[in-house]
Chains A and B, each alone.
Chain A
């Protein structure tokens, strides 16, 4: 399973890299969706069907909207040469990557192997969830009962995102009613 996971992860990284360097906006959008669909297969391999359902539908809708937007807009992207400031940014990014990778390597030694050995909190969830919530699907039981605040925050984020995008996308502004 780890081999399949690594192959899909490498494909996702390649898709993301191609999306940056594509000449055409449309091919950039399509190759970017490779990341999303790869994530669906990763979720299925890691036995998380709830997340996989959400991810595949959201990815499809996002892809449809993006393609509709791209087909309407100009396809060409203005090509800009990196100025000295740009080289500085690249150098900073590389240094940051190395530093972050070093600390991640140091920290990952103290973690448990992925998927084995539930933590204290998680063990509590697994043992008592079915009786405490009465829900047959443990994931729903956890997100709406034990972690209700978390779900409330997620729903609020969605509402705020819609408000923000309505504000930005509105071009003309509402007309005032003349009495």
Chain B
């Protein structure tokens, strides 16, 4: 797929990094402000989709990229599951229990394992949405090659 005009490319060059950072902000502040893993992950995926749409898939050298995102997605879900399993090893020994020290509510490092869940769920959501987009893109280009 080809890229868009130079206006779109320049605007994207300025904005895509900011959108990416905003997604990461939403993910790591998920336990303090509205948002969290699901919302932030979709914003991160949106910034990458914006880059691909503006510059075209030739510029990004997309060949077999969908394997990378699939592996990221599955690993992130697996790690979230391992953190949940950690509740059975430490603390009160219940699946999904909050086994890290909680700290004071309102600080960035607080709430035990909830920020970790947010980060890995965010990775999983971003990778899965990007996978679907890349699948629509790559498989069609494979057919026309």
Chain A interface residues (CB < 8 Å from chain B): 49-50, 53-54, 57-58, 60-61, 64-65, 68-69, 72, 130-131, 133-137, 139-141, 143-145, 148-149, 151-152, 154-156, 158-159, 161-162, 165-166, 169-172
Chain B interface residue number, banded: 35 or more
Chain B, 1-31, CB within 8 A of any chain A CB: 26, 30-31
Query: Which residue of B is nearest A54, CB measured?
Result: B39
Main SS class of interface, B: helix
B136 touches A169 (CB 8 A): yes
B36 touches A139 (CB 8 A): yes
Give the distance in Å from the alpha carbon of A148 to the alpha carbon of B102 in the complex: 17
Residues in B with CB closer than 8 Å to A152 are: 80-81, 84, 96
Give the distance in Å from the alpha carbon of A130 to the alpha carbon of B128 in the complex: 31
Give the distance in Å from the alpha carbon of A143 to the alpha carbon of B111 in the complex: 13
* Least distance between A97 CB and chain B CB atoms (Å): 33
Residues in B with CB closer than 8 Å to A145 are: 96, 98, 114
B46 touches A60 (CB 8 A): yes
A143 touches B103 (CB 8 A): no
A148 touches B105 (CB 8 A): no
B36 touches A143 (CB 8 A): yes
B114 touches A158 (CB 8 A): no
Given A145-B114, A152-B81, check contact A137 B139 (CB 8 Å): no
Main SS class of interface, A: helix
CB contact between B128 and one of A133, A140, A162, A169 (< 8 Å): that residue: A162
A49 touches B77 (CB 8 A): no
Chain B, 96-145, CB within 8 A of any chain A CB: 96, 98, 102-106, 110-114, 117-118, 121, 124-125, 128-129, 131-133, 135-136, 139-140, 142-143
Q: How many residue-residue contacts, CB under 8 A, span A and B?
A: 137
Residues in A with CB closer than 8 Å to B55 are: none
Query: Which residue of B is nearest A50, CB measured?
Result: B34
B32 touches A137 (CB 8 A): yes
A61 touches B49 (CB 8 A): yes
* Least distance between A91 CB and chain B CB atoms (Å): 38
B111 touches A50 (CB 8 A): no
Residues in B with CB closer than 8 Å to A65 are: 49, 132-133, 136
Give the distance in Å from the alpha carbon of A146 to the alpha carbon of B92 in the complex: 15
B110 touches A64 (CB 8 A): no
Q: List 7 A-B contacts (CB under 8 A).
A: A54-B39, A140-B118, A144-B114, A152-B80, A155-B124, A158-B128, A162-B73
Residues in A with CB closer than 8 Å to B114 are: 133-135, 140-141, 144-145
Chain B, 27-73, CB within 8 A of any chain A CB: 30-36, 38-39, 42-43, 45-46, 49, 53, 66, 70, 73
